[in-house]
Structure 1
Amino acid sequence: MYALCDVNSMYASCEKVFDPAIRNKPVVVLTNNDGCICAACGIAKRMGIGKKFVPYFQVRDELAAAGAIIRSSNYELYADLSQRMMDTCARFAPHFHIYSIDECFLFYGSNYVPEGGWEAHALQIRRTVWKEVRLPIGVGVGPTPTLAKAANHASKRIEGYRGVAVIDNEQTRQHILTNMDVTDVWGIGRRLGQRLNDSGIRTAWQLSKAKPSLIRKEFSILVENTVHELNGTPKLNWDDVRAPKQQIFSTRSFGQRVTDKSELRQALISHVTIATSKLRRQKSLVKTLQVFASNSPHDTDAFYRQSMLHEFPAPTSDTGIIAHAVSMLVDSIFRKGVRFYKCGVGLIELVDAHHYQQDLFNTSHDKTDLMRCMDAINSRYGRNTVHVATQGTTQKFAMRREFLSPQYTTRLTDIPKIKCN
């Protein structure tokens, strides 16, 4: 059996953990630079406000009239609470897989049945996460990952299930799948769902009754596997270790427009720091670097976007070497008079550091020990505690977060204080 644990409205729920004053109020969370809505709590959704990806400025007055609490994305807080939730859930199963920041799968043996039954077990997981982390989660249990996903959907969306759903018999499976649109099935997106609708398949139950061979011929082997999974036959294999990424990008829009070359250079090198940290974490080297910057296509000025490639003589993971390459490319990217809105770097040709055969004539100049030391310090004391000097110390281009809540669990000055009279 499989269990899927999923946090309800993750970002909005995290905002309420350490702020009791807003727990019974509508909370809306914004994306980078406070641009669009990316999350809304259940109260806000029931009020009909907080629709995802709507620009904030368009609904500012509507949110204010509804008394909504606005928050900027507090990634540090969300990541920490996510890890706490994952650690709590992992105690309930012999095998565990993190699927996203707010979802994880628990794997059990085929013959395992918890004491008290699956529903009591799922309810215990939900109550423990609420008690220890204060995050509301839904728990779905099923004989395949896809059915566990379907059960999780039922725990939140289908009447009669209050945070917990278990598919362990044919009657429950049919009831849940009949009440699910085909686009609610894991892996069935809007476009694929439309094609299935055109074929007369509108519910998850109808998809489960389709002939697998015909589905494979008409669509793909992935959809065929979904049909098998909906019928209780596991087809998804989980790797113990995720495959390394083939490309790593770091990009973000500015908090305010950048018109100075040195500020653009600092912004690009700050992205180098982020990307190379991820590169070393997965034990890879980069052969080719991409650097790009642009203004906004919505500006009154003509749209400008420039991108440059740089190939290293020897693959590297050294932040200093990559930052030096960026500094050389800035002159080719910067254009006077352009109000830059966005920039980024891409590590686009990666190789495994363990198995790469070094070149006799193009030797590596990586300062491996220095990079290891820098990563260790930043891991312990926070990102950018130590960084290359060309990144600068004051960043006018930093992301705008006007409604940012305190980082209650990751910054000493923000730790909640309790005063007893």
Structure 2
Amino acid sequence: MSPTQKRIALVDANNFYVSCERVFRPDLIGKPVAVLSNNDGCIVSRSQELKDLGVKMAVPAFQIQHLVEQHNIQLLSSNYGLYADLSARVMSVLEAFSPSLEIYSIDEAFLDFTDLYPCEKDPIAYGKQIKRTVQQYTGIPVCVGMGPTKTLAKLANFAAKKWKQTGGVLDLSDPKRQEKLMRIVPVNEVWGIGRQTNSKLNQFGIHTVWDLAQQAPQKIQQQFSIVVARTVMELNGIACLELEEIAPDKQQIVCSRTFSRRLTTLQELMSAMAEFASRAAEKLRQQHSVASGVTIFIRTNVFAEHERQYQRSASVKLDTPSQDTRVILAAVHRLLEVIFKPGYGYYKCGVQLSDIQAQTAPGQIDLFDWVDNDLPTENRPLMQAVDQINRRFPKGIAIATTKIDQTWKPRADRISQRYTTDWRELMTVYCR
């Protein structure tokens, strides 16, 4: 490997949600385990034992009841607080292995190993050291893939997970090893190649990763897109995607949920909307932003054909961009009063914040804007105090409207304890 060539690594946790549950439930190790989505609906994480039974991702839980009883499959509700906390711990460990780290998702991170002496000396040994350290410090198993580009690192990670003989670590810096792997891996396993793109590639006779890598980027851009053209270049070792060490601010923030039961009254919907507005505003403050666009939507279940159907959305532009929960909630309340229609069983609702900008950006006032004096006045110190209290205490504080009715919340009948984020639910250890 030349000194100027990059070496990017992707560290990816194995079956992350299931692995988080197993950290505090070692009795689940070696058993088929599934973590379910909101309302305990569909499978969102599978243990290897469950995959070996042929159970696919996103399958509704009720469809595999016969397998649950036959193979004693353990079904668990999602515990997102636990997963987020363990993810932060994994990322904290990884920071010690590279000066440049991009947190790509809750269970994945890219690291730049270019010219890093311990890795240059023996990449595989360095990757195995990362595996051991993360496992020792957090209990989460990971695999490590390395290559000259992010796309090749992703491909290496895929192979490290699929073939046990790699030991969970694979370096694709050698062109001969790249070609050997690319010739046997289907093109749909390439990062960013979705179902529709894969189908179209197959029509052009491109079935393996090697087939795609041999294409001319200009031709691929004409037939597909610049994104696929960049993928071709990345597969050939030409880096087009840089590490994003600082995550870009979100341009839209959406909070929505399906309900555990049908909601029929304005008060019930307002309670749910209030919680979503509060969460959205909190996320806005976390990235030090303000928003001027507020949109809400309500809908019935389109799949329940025997039920009356209704869905509506509404938007408003705030006269002054805000991050204050009270301001956003007041706008949400008014919009809901406009679009709510009695006589329907509502299945889902949500809040979206848009027109987002940095809180330090100067506001531009429109000469013809109508100022709504009934909206609360922006109070950032108050919101900061609320956020600090909520971070410190599990129950926290909230706008009163969110506490009126909590029966709409998604089902979580099989949820585990919040072992790391709630003093009342810490692991209990007995000594004999």
Name the TM-score, length of structure 1 as normaliser.
0.95
1:289, distance to aligned residue in structure 2 (A)? 1.1
**Match in the other structure for 1:187:** 192
- 2:9 alignment counterpart: 3
Deviates more, 1:265-274 or 1:226-235: 226-235
Partners of 2:77 and 2:383 lie apart in 1 by 32
Listed one character per residue, the Cα deviations across residues 326-347 of structure 1 (whole Å, up to 9, x for unaligned) are: 2223322322221111111111
Confirm or deny that 1:399 pairs with 2:404: no
Alignment partners' CA distance in 1, 2:412 and 2:62: 14
Deviations 1:8-38 (A, max 9, x none): 1111111111011111211011100011111
Q: Give the aligned partner of residue 352 of structure 1.
A: 358
Deviates more, 1:256-265 or 1:133-142: 256-265
**Aligned residue in 1 for 2:391:** 379
1:113 deviation in Å? Answer: 5.3
Distance 1:261-1:127 versus aligned 2 partners, 3 A rule: same
1:118 aligns with 2:123: yes
TM-score by length of 2: 0.92
2:183 aligned with 1:171, yes or no?
no
Whether the aligned pair in 2 keeps the contact of 1:292 and 1:343 (CA below 8 Å) is yes
For the 8 Å contact 1:145–1:236, the answer to whether it is kept is yes
Matches of 2:229 and 2:341, distance apart in 1: 51
SS at match of 2:301: coil
CA separation in 2, counterparts of 1:248 and 1:368? Answer: 19
Distance of 1:104 and 1:45 partners within structure 2? 24
Between the aligned partners of 2:62 and 2:215, the Cα distance in structure 1 is: 46
AA partner of residue 400 (structure 1): R
Unaligned runs of 5+ in 2: 1-6
| Cα distance change, pair 409–174 in 1 and its aligned pair in 2 (3 A) | same
1:208 correspondence with 2:220: no
C-alpha distance in 2 between matches for 1:360 and 1:289: 18
CA distance in 2: counterparts of 1:84 and 1:159, whole angstroms:
26
Superposition deviation, residue 115 in structure 1: 6.6
Equivalents in 2 of 1:260, 1:185: separation in Å? 47
The whole-number CA distance in structure 2 between the counterparts of 1:224 and 1:307 is 37
* Structure 1 unaligned regions, length at least 5: none
8 Å CA contact retained: 1:14, 1:78: yes
Aligned to 1:322: 328
- What's the counterpart of residue 25 of structure 1? 31
What is the deviation of 1:324? 1.5
- Contact kept, 8 Å, 2:271 with 2:404, in 1: the verdict is no
Per-residue CA deviations over 1:62-85 (Å, capped at 9, x if unaligned) read: 222211001001101111111111
| Matched residue, 2:201 | 196
What is the aligned length?
A: 419
- 1:146 partner letter: T
Question: Which letter does structure 2 place at the counterpart of 1:397?
Answer: W
- Secondary structure of the structure 2 residue equivalent to 1:114: helix
Percent sequence identity is 37
Equivalences for residues 7-406 of structure 1 within 5 A: 7-49=13-55, 51-110=56-115, 112=117, 114=119, 116-158=121-163, 160-299=165-304, 300-359=306-365, 362=371, 365-382=377-394, 385-392=396-403, 394-406=405-417
Q: Secondary structure at the match of 2:143?
A: strand
User: Which one-letter code corresponds to 1:28 in the other structure?
Assistant: A
In the TM superposition, residue 323 of structure 1 has moved relative to its aligned partner by 1.2
- Deviation of 1:170 after TM superposition, in Å, equals 2.1
Partner of 1:252, secondary structure, is strand
Shift of 1:112: 4.5
SS at match of 2:165: coil
How far 1:348 sits from its partner (Å)?
2.4
CA drift at 1:116: 4.7
Q: Is residue 321–residue 363 contact of structure 2 (8 Å, CA) maintained in 1?
A: no
Whether 1:417 and 2:428 are equivalent positions in the alignment is: yes
Alpha-carbon contact 2:100-2:245 (below 8 Å) kept: no
The letter of the residue matching 1:371 is M
CA deviation after TM superposition for structure 1 residue 360, in Å = 8.8
Letter in 2 for 1:410: T
Question: 2:119 is paired with a residue of what secondary structure?
Answer: coil
Q: Quickly say closer, same or farther: Cα 1:113–1:177, change in 2 above 3 A.
A: farther
Task: Report SS of the residue matched to 1:98.
Answer: strand
Give the Cα separation in 2 of the matches to 1:114 and 1:347.
43
Q: SS state of the match for residue 35, structure 2?
A: strand
Aligned partner of residue 84 in structure 1, secondary structure? helix
- Please tell me whether the aligned partners of residues 158 and 179 of structure 1 are also in contact (alpha carbons under 8 angstroms): no
What are the superposed Cα offsets for residues 253-293 of structure 1, whole Å, 9 maximum, x if unpaired? 11222122211111101000000011112222221211111
The residue number in structure 1 matching 2:4 is none
Q: In structure 2, what is the Cα distance between the partners aligned to 1:156 and 1:109?
A: 23
Which residue type is aligned with residue 9 of structure 1? N
